[in-house]
Amino acid sequence: MPATSPHSPELYRKAALLALITIIYNIAEGAVSVGLGVADETLSLFGFGLDSFVEVISGVGIWHMVQRVRRGGTEDRDAFERRALRITGGAFYLLAAGLVVTAGLSIYSGHRPESTVWGIAVSLVSISFMWLLIHHKTNVGRALNSPAILADAACSRACLLLSAVLLAASAGYELTGIAWLDSLGSLAIAWLSVREGREAFGKADGMACPCSCGCSNGG
Protein backbone atom coordinates (compact mmCIF):
# COMPACT_ATOMS: atom_id res chain seq x y z
CA MET A 1 0.00 0.00 0.00
CA PRO A 2 1.17 3.56 -0.59
CA ALA A 3 2.49 5.42 2.42
CA THR A 4 0.30 8.11 3.98
CA SER A 5 1.70 11.35 5.38
CA PRO A 6 0.68 14.99 5.71
CA HIS A 7 2.37 15.53 2.34
CA SER A 8 0.51 12.73 0.53
CA PRO A 9 -2.29 14.91 -0.96
CA GLU A 10 0.29 17.27 -2.45
CA LEU A 11 2.34 14.37 -3.78
CA TYR A 12 -0.71 12.75 -5.38
CA ARG A 13 -1.58 16.07 -7.00
CA LYS A 14 1.93 16.12 -8.43
CA ALA A 15 1.59 12.49 -9.60
CA ALA A 16 -1.71 13.34 -11.34
CA LEU A 17 -0.11 16.38 -12.97
CA LEU A 18 2.84 14.30 -14.20
CA ALA A 19 0.43 11.74 -15.68
CA LEU A 20 -1.52 14.53 -17.41
CA ILE A 21 1.68 16.09 -18.76
CA THR A 22 2.71 12.68 -20.10
CA ILE A 23 -0.61 12.33 -21.95
CA ILE A 24 -0.45 15.83 -23.48
CA TYR A 25 3.20 15.41 -24.45
CA ASN A 26 2.58 12.05 -26.14
CA ILE A 27 -0.33 13.49 -28.15
CA ALA A 28 1.84 16.40 -29.33
CA GLU A 29 4.84 14.16 -29.99
CA GLY A 30 2.70 11.69 -31.91
CA ALA A 31 1.15 14.36 -34.10
CA VAL A 32 4.50 16.00 -34.90
CA SER A 33 6.28 12.68 -35.51
CA VAL A 34 3.59 11.22 -37.75
CA GLY A 35 3.29 14.44 -39.75
CA LEU A 36 7.05 14.82 -40.25
CA GLY A 37 7.46 11.10 -40.87
CA VAL A 38 4.93 11.23 -43.71
CA ALA A 39 6.42 14.43 -45.14
CA ASP A 40 9.98 13.05 -45.16
CA GLU A 41 8.94 9.44 -45.87
CA THR A 42 10.78 8.39 -42.71
CA LEU A 43 9.39 5.07 -41.51
CA SER A 44 11.12 5.04 -38.12
CA LEU A 45 9.82 8.53 -37.22
CA PHE A 46 6.33 7.62 -38.42
CA GLY A 47 6.33 4.43 -36.32
CA PHE A 48 7.67 6.35 -33.32
CA GLY A 49 4.75 8.78 -33.63
CA LEU A 50 2.18 5.99 -33.75
CA ASP A 51 3.80 4.45 -30.68
CA SER A 52 3.36 7.78 -28.87
CA PHE A 53 -0.37 7.73 -29.65
CA VAL A 54 -0.69 4.22 -28.21
CA GLU A 55 1.12 5.37 -25.06
CA VAL A 56 -1.66 7.93 -24.57
CA ILE A 57 -4.17 5.14 -23.83
CA SER A 58 -1.93 3.70 -21.12
CA GLY A 59 -1.32 7.22 -19.76
CA VAL A 60 -5.05 7.79 -19.38
CA GLY A 61 -5.24 4.62 -17.28
CA ILE A 62 -2.42 5.83 -15.01
CA TRP A 63 -4.04 9.25 -14.61
CA HIS A 64 -7.36 7.59 -13.76
CA MET A 65 -5.64 5.37 -11.16
CA VAL A 66 -3.90 8.31 -9.46
CA GLN A 67 -7.15 10.27 -9.29
CA ARG A 68 -8.92 7.25 -7.79
CA VAL A 69 -6.20 6.70 -5.16
CA ARG A 70 -6.38 10.41 -4.26
CA ARG A 71 -10.05 9.82 -3.42
CA GLY A 72 -9.13 7.00 -1.05
CA GLY A 73 -9.08 4.01 -3.40
CA THR A 74 -6.42 1.31 -3.62
CA GLU A 75 -3.80 0.78 -6.33
CA ASP A 76 -5.54 -2.41 -7.47
CA ARG A 77 -6.60 -1.79 -11.08
CA ASP A 78 -10.30 -1.27 -11.72
CA ALA A 79 -12.26 -2.35 -14.80
CA PHE A 80 -11.54 0.90 -16.68
CA GLU A 81 -7.78 0.59 -16.19
CA ARG A 82 -7.71 -3.10 -17.15
CA ARG A 83 -9.72 -2.34 -20.29
CA ALA A 84 -7.37 0.53 -21.20
CA LEU A 85 -4.37 -1.76 -20.76
CA ARG A 86 -5.85 -4.47 -22.98
CA ILE A 87 -6.66 -1.91 -25.68
CA THR A 88 -3.09 -0.62 -25.35
CA GLY A 89 -1.67 -4.13 -25.67
CA GLY A 90 -3.72 -4.91 -28.77
CA ALA A 91 -2.79 -1.59 -30.38
CA PHE A 92 0.92 -2.24 -29.77
CA TYR A 93 0.65 -5.65 -31.47
CA LEU A 94 -1.14 -4.14 -34.48
CA LEU A 95 1.46 -1.38 -34.69
CA ALA A 96 4.30 -3.89 -34.59
CA ALA A 97 2.75 -6.00 -37.34
CA GLY A 98 2.24 -2.96 -39.56
CA LEU A 99 5.79 -1.76 -39.03
CA VAL A 100 7.28 -5.17 -39.84
CA VAL A 101 5.33 -5.43 -43.10
CA THR A 102 6.11 -1.85 -44.12
CA ALA A 103 9.78 -2.15 -43.23
CA GLY A 104 10.05 -5.37 -45.23
CA LEU A 105 8.52 -3.70 -48.28
CA SER A 106 10.82 -0.68 -47.86
CA ILE A 107 13.93 -2.85 -47.68
CA TYR A 108 12.80 -4.88 -50.71
CA SER A 109 12.12 -1.77 -52.79
CA GLY A 110 15.23 0.09 -51.62
CA HIS A 111 13.16 3.03 -50.38
CA ARG A 112 15.13 5.99 -49.06
CA PRO A 113 13.69 8.68 -46.76
CA GLU A 114 13.92 12.29 -47.89
CA SER A 115 15.75 13.16 -44.67
CA THR A 116 16.02 11.94 -41.10
CA VAL A 117 17.06 15.27 -39.58
CA TRP A 118 13.65 15.67 -37.96
CA GLY A 119 14.02 12.20 -36.45
CA ILE A 120 17.21 13.36 -34.76
CA ALA A 121 15.53 16.52 -33.46
CA VAL A 122 12.41 14.75 -32.18
CA SER A 123 14.41 12.00 -30.48
CA LEU A 124 16.69 14.48 -28.68
CA VAL A 125 13.69 16.44 -27.37
CA SER A 126 11.99 13.21 -26.32
CA ILE A 127 15.08 11.87 -24.51
CA SER A 128 15.42 15.11 -22.55
CA PHE A 129 11.73 15.27 -21.66
CA MET A 130 11.48 11.61 -20.69
CA TRP A 131 14.55 11.93 -18.47
CA LEU A 132 12.80 14.74 -16.55
CA LEU A 133 9.58 12.72 -16.27
CA ILE A 134 11.47 9.67 -15.00
CA HIS A 135 13.26 11.79 -12.39
CA HIS A 136 10.08 13.38 -11.01
CA LYS A 137 7.91 10.24 -11.22
CA THR A 138 10.56 8.21 -9.39
CA ASN A 139 10.84 10.83 -6.64
CA VAL A 140 7.07 10.94 -6.16
CA GLY A 141 6.76 7.16 -6.29
CA ARG A 142 9.47 6.73 -3.65
CA ALA A 143 7.95 9.38 -1.37
CA LEU A 144 4.53 7.70 -1.58
CA ASN A 145 5.97 4.16 -1.58
CA SER A 146 3.73 3.59 -4.60
CA PRO A 147 4.55 0.57 -6.80
CA ALA A 148 2.16 1.82 -9.50
CA ILE A 149 3.82 5.24 -9.82
CA LEU A 150 7.28 3.66 -9.77
CA ALA A 151 6.12 1.27 -12.51
CA ASP A 152 4.91 4.28 -14.50
CA ALA A 153 8.39 5.78 -14.16
CA ALA A 154 9.83 2.50 -15.44
CA CYS A 155 7.49 2.70 -18.45
CA SER A 156 8.84 6.16 -19.17
CA ARG A 157 12.27 4.53 -19.33
CA ALA A 158 10.90 2.29 -22.09
CA CYS A 159 9.83 5.44 -23.95
CA LEU A 160 13.33 6.83 -23.50
CA LEU A 161 14.71 3.63 -25.04
CA LEU A 162 12.41 4.06 -28.04
CA SER A 163 13.73 7.60 -28.44
CA ALA A 164 17.30 6.29 -28.36
CA VAL A 165 16.45 3.78 -31.10
CA LEU A 166 14.97 6.58 -33.23
CA LEU A 167 18.09 8.70 -32.65
CA ALA A 168 20.43 5.86 -33.66
CA ALA A 169 18.47 5.07 -36.84
CA SER A 170 18.07 8.72 -37.85
CA ALA A 171 21.67 9.74 -37.13
CA GLY A 172 22.96 6.57 -38.78
CA TYR A 173 21.13 7.35 -42.00
CA GLU A 174 22.26 10.99 -42.07
CA LEU A 175 25.89 9.98 -41.49
CA THR A 176 26.05 7.04 -43.90
CA GLY A 177 23.16 7.38 -46.35
CA ILE A 178 22.48 3.65 -46.00
CA ALA A 179 18.82 3.29 -47.00
CA TRP A 180 17.90 0.28 -44.87
CA LEU A 181 18.94 1.92 -41.57
CA ASP A 182 15.60 3.75 -41.40
CA SER A 183 13.75 0.46 -41.92
CA LEU A 184 15.98 -1.23 -39.36
CA GLY A 185 15.02 1.47 -36.85
CA SER A 186 11.35 0.84 -37.51
CA LEU A 187 11.88 -2.91 -36.98
CA ALA A 188 13.52 -2.16 -33.62
CA ILE A 189 10.52 0.02 -32.70
CA ALA A 190 8.25 -2.87 -33.74
CA TRP A 191 10.16 -5.26 -31.46
CA LEU A 192 9.90 -2.85 -28.53
CA SER A 193 6.18 -2.39 -29.29
CA VAL A 194 5.66 -6.16 -29.01
CA ARG A 195 7.35 -6.10 -25.59
CA GLU A 196 5.20 -3.16 -24.49
CA GLY A 197 2.08 -4.91 -25.76
CA ARG A 198 2.91 -8.09 -23.86
CA GLU A 199 3.57 -6.12 -20.70
CA ALA A 200 0.32 -4.13 -21.07
CA PHE A 201 -1.61 -7.41 -21.09
CA GLY A 202 0.50 -8.53 -18.13
CA LYS A 203 -0.44 -5.43 -16.17
CA ALA A 204 -4.11 -5.99 -17.00
CA ASP A 205 -3.77 -9.50 -15.57
CA GLY A 206 -2.12 -8.22 -12.39
CA MET A 207 1.60 -8.62 -13.03
CA ALA A 208 3.57 -6.92 -10.24
CA CYS A 209 6.46 -5.78 -12.42
CA PRO A 210 4.98 -4.67 -15.73
CA CYS A 211 7.53 -2.75 -17.74
CA SER A 212 10.20 -3.95 -20.10
CA CYS A 213 12.83 -1.89 -18.38
CA GLY A 214 11.99 -3.48 -15.06
CA CYS A 215 10.74 -1.99 -11.81
CA SER A 216 14.05 -0.61 -10.65
CA ASN A 217 13.71 2.19 -8.13
CA GLY A 218 16.87 3.78 -9.43
CA GLY A 219 16.80 7.27 -10.93
* Residue 3, pLDDT above cutoff 60: no
Q: Is 38 part of any domain?
A: yes
pLDDT, tens digit (0-9, with 9 covering 90-100), for 33-47: 999 999 988 889 999
Q: Is 47 part of any domain?
A: yes
**What CA–CA distances, in Å, run from 121 to 29, 47, 192?**
11, 15, 21
Q: Is 1 part of any domain?
A: no
Q: Is 211 part of any domain?
A: no
Residue 64 structural domain: 8-204
What was the pLDDT predicted at 108? 81
Q: Is 219 part of any domain?
A: no
pLDDT, tens digit (0-9, with 9 covering 90-100), for 144-156: 887 777 877 877 8
The total domain count for the chain is 1
HSE-up of 151 (CA within 13 Å, CB side)?
Answer: 22
pLDDT, tens digit (0-9, with 9 covering 90-100), for 58-94: 788 888 888 887 777 666 666 777 777 788 888 889 8
Q: Is 71 part of any domain?
A: yes
What was the pLDDT predicted at 7? 57
Confidence of residue 122 (pLDDT cuts 50, 70, 90): very high
Angle 126-129-135 from CA coordinates, rounded to 5°: 135
